[in-house]
Structure formats: C-alpha cells, structure tokens
Structure 1
C-alpha cells in the first residue's frame, strides 16, 4: 500500500499548475472566473435585515436570501465541476488530447457528474448530521472521484465513488487532512480578500466592478489549484505506467 505523502502531493500540485498554466488558464477563465463575475454583476443582491428585526424576521430573511442565491450557487458549482473535469482530462489523458477534445469529453460526462453530485450531496449531508468529523473523512475518501472519471472515462457514478474509496484505502485520514487543510486556507484567504474588496464601493460603482474582478480572479486561482490538488492525490495513489504524464 502506498503511504500518502502530503508534502510531495503539494509539490506536484503547484508544479502541475505552473507547467500547464497557459493552456489551463483559458479553461479556468471560462469555467471559474466568468461564472463568478456573472454572479457578482447579475446575481441577486444579498438581503439586508431591517432595523430591530425579530429572530423570526431574521430567519425568514435568511431563508429568502438562500432561496434567491441557491440557483446561482448551483450553476457556479456545476460550471466549476465541469471546468475541473476538462482540466483533469487534459492533465491525465494517457494520450495527448486537444482542448476541444477535453471539452467534448466533459460534455459527454455531464449526466455522470450530476449523478455523482447528488449522491455526494446526500452522503455529505448525512455525515454532517453526525457532526463534522465524518464529513471531513469523506473529503479524503472521495478526493479521487473526479480524476477517476477524467482519466479512466468512468461513466457509472457508483463505480467512480467506489474506485476513489478503494484508491484512498489506508490513507483516508491523511488525504482528508490534506484536502481539508487546503480548503480551510482557501476559505480564510477568500474571506480576507472579500472583506478588503467590500470597501471598494457599492453595487453599480466602478469600485464594485474592480472588487468583483479581484474576488473572481482569486476564486478562479483557488479552483485551479484545488483541481491540481485532487490530481496530485490521484497521481500518488494510483498505479501508473511509464508512459503517463505524471511519471
């Protein structure tokens, strides 16, 4: 059994991003940056609580805000997922492929990705009911799902989930800690950036536009790096031949 090395995985992830940035940067802009900008410019305005609002009013406002934000968040999540699959396909394909071929492959696996999203949402939701620790563990065990789909053309969502579970066997907590630590850093830095850009101006102003560009660019950069992180996990735990791209 291969023992997962977090340091080596991080080195692989950053090297992968640097080596292929000109090519994957276009896909990151299309699938990561543009959806974020669309939500910033066209998405619903976050509801503000009235003065002296009661707890019931605050809860009602929160639910209303969630309802108006949810379609946009789902659309961005789907775009980000498809972008990750296209980039992983370029990185992991055992024979060189073009961007067009990677995009065509991504379109063909949309039903698979929707099914995986629904199954994972159910499993993570159930794990959260058991407190956060089981959900963190699932982050590690399912870290290789997307790379498996992209590399091995897995169309059955349950085969992809089971394959990731098998690949991460014996390394679940190491991979979980690696992925969770990265996501935690991502969230903290993103919140800091958003708090800074929040003072640039109100919606409709030039400052707000600049802030939206910065926030979307940071989010796109993290999404690209996150894709490299799961690729590095898959690379390290899967048995690959001498002709593969990561050798």
Structure 2
C-alpha cells in the first residue's frame, strides 16, 4: 500500500448514515443467501446451545447459596464446575460461528463472486488467523485495565478505583480500534493476525467517536428489542418449563442471528467506506 493511499484512508471521515444504507443495500441484494448462511452458522448453534448447555438458573442458584460475601475461591469453584461440564460446547460453537463470520463476509464482498462452498472454504482457511487475532485483541483489551488497576492497588484504594475506571474507558477504545479485524481478514485477505490488528487500528483512525456512537446505538436498539422479545417469550413458560425453554431458545437464536448478521453487514460497509471502495455498486452475489 502506497503512502498516498494510506494518507487518504487516514483522512476519510465515516458517514454513519451512508454506512447503514450500504449495509441494508448489501442485505437486500443478497437476502436469500444471507438468510441461509446466517441460519446455519448463527441461528442453529445458538438454539442448540440454549437447549443443551447447563441451565444458567442453576448457576445463579449456586451463587446465591454462597451468601452475600462469598470468597473468591468459592466463586471460582462454582464457575469451574459449571464450565467443566460445557467448555467443549462453547469451543465447538465458537469455531462454527467463526467460520460463518469469515465465510459470510467473503461471500458478500469478494469481487470474484465465490460460491457458498468456496466462501465457507475460505472461512475454514481464515479460521486460525481470525482466532489468533481475536485472542490477541482480547488479551490486550483485558491486560490494559488490569495492569492499571494493579498499579493503582499498589498506591491506594482511591487510585485503584480511578485507574480501573480509566482502564474501562481504554478497553472500550481498544475494542473500537480493533473492531474491523474480521473484514480486514475476510475482505483484504490479511492472514497475519498482527498485521490485521495494525490494519484495523489504522483504518479506524480519526473515527473512534463516530464508531463508538454507531456501535452504542446498535447495542441499545438490540437491548431494547431483546427486552421486549424476552417479555413475550416469558409468556410461554406458563405452558410448561420445556415449552418455555424451547421458545426462549428459538427467540434467542433469532435475535443472535439478526444481530450477528446486521453487525457483519455494518462492519463490511464501514470497511468499504474507510478503504475508499464505497463508490462501487452493490450487486447481487449471484446474478
């Protein structure tokens, strides 16, 4: 990438309205294939996970049984027992959804017009770089506030609380800066995890507050919608525990599928705009 192109990318100011319209246009042009892939990789794993994973109600009951001031050792024992029964399920479904993320982005944005099989094949190929980049991203996001809080703890409780707050702000900032990892890998085919992190950081330069506002608005909308959906789904519990659980599984699966799909489309549209390719027409994947 040349210096001139880099400077142009750095100078690009994100138009949130255009990014949203671009995401919806991408969805409208490819709604059939998006629905199929999203159902297989986002909806079904969430439904199955809800039905087969140990009940979180049981976890909450165990936590409440520990009393008002449980020791860290007791809490770790409860969480350890819970996840020891289901850790492999989380890993399997996480891998499946990661392939879906990479495959769907490639399917919708690759100019070579790949088939669904080819796009998912790329998803498998990009799985390791994507996971490594996500792990590095997670470690950085956790390490920064933890380090600040530890430093503050050496000074005093007040300083520790202040630095913990600063650390939380920095964690959110880091999350925003690395939010374009998936489109960088899937669209630009950057298979080096560290290069993907650096590229995401570069693309978001000058747009952090815009992205924060955009992501926050999406999350708030989803939270409000999920609250309404949960209230409706809770009505099924009067028909029996199993019916209530099945209804909750279907509802949470649909919500997860919708949010994951829209978020991926939004990320693709943001990446498209910040890389200067948003002038290209949005066409159907299969014509």
TM-score, with structure 2 as normaliser = 0.76
Matched, 1:151 2:149: no
Q: Tell me if the contact between 1:33 and 1:219 (Cα under 8 Å) persists in the aligned partners.
A: yes
Q: Take 1:92 and 1:146, find their aligned partners in 2: how far apart are those partners? A: 12
Aligned-residue CA RMSD (Å): 2.7
Ranges in structure 2 where 5+ consecutive residues have no aligned partner: 1-10, 147-165
Mean CA deviation greater in 233-242 or 19-28 = 233-242
Q: Take 2:212 and 2:83, find their aligned partners in 1: how far apart are those partners? A: 28
Ranges in structure 1 where 5+ consecutive residues have no aligned partner: none
Question: Which of 207, 226, 240 matches 1:190?
Answer: 226
Residue aligning to 2:149: none
Residue aligning to 1:110: 127
Aligned positions, number: 246
Q: Take 1:241 and 1:157, find their aligned partners in 2: how far apart are those partners? A: 25
Q: Take 2:185 and 2:104, find their aligned partners in 1: how far apart are those partners? A: 12
Q: Tell me if the contact between 1:37 and 1:216 (Cα under 8 Å) persists in the aligned partners.
A: yes
Residue aligning to 2:61: 49
Residue aligning to 2:275: 238
Residue aligning to 2:162: none
TM-score, with structure 1 as normaliser = 0.87
Residue aligning to 1:133: 169
Q: Take 2:17 and 2:94, find their aligned partners in 1: how far apart are those partners? A: 28
Q: Take 1:44 and 1:156, find their aligned partners in 2: how far apart are those partners? A: 36
**Which structure: greater helix fraction?**
2
Q: Tell me if the contact between 2:16 and 2:214 (Cα under 8 Å) persists in the aligned partners.
A: yes
Structure number with bigger Rg: 2
Residue aligning to 2:265: 228
Matched, 1:9 2:19: yes
Question: Which of 217, 231, 241 matches 1:181?
Answer: 217
Q: Take 1:214 and 1:156, find their aligned partners in 2: how far apart are those partners? A: 37
Superposed displacement of residue 231, structure 1:
0.8
Q: Tell me if the contact between 2:184 and 2:200 (Cα under 8 Å) persists in the aligned partners.
A: yes
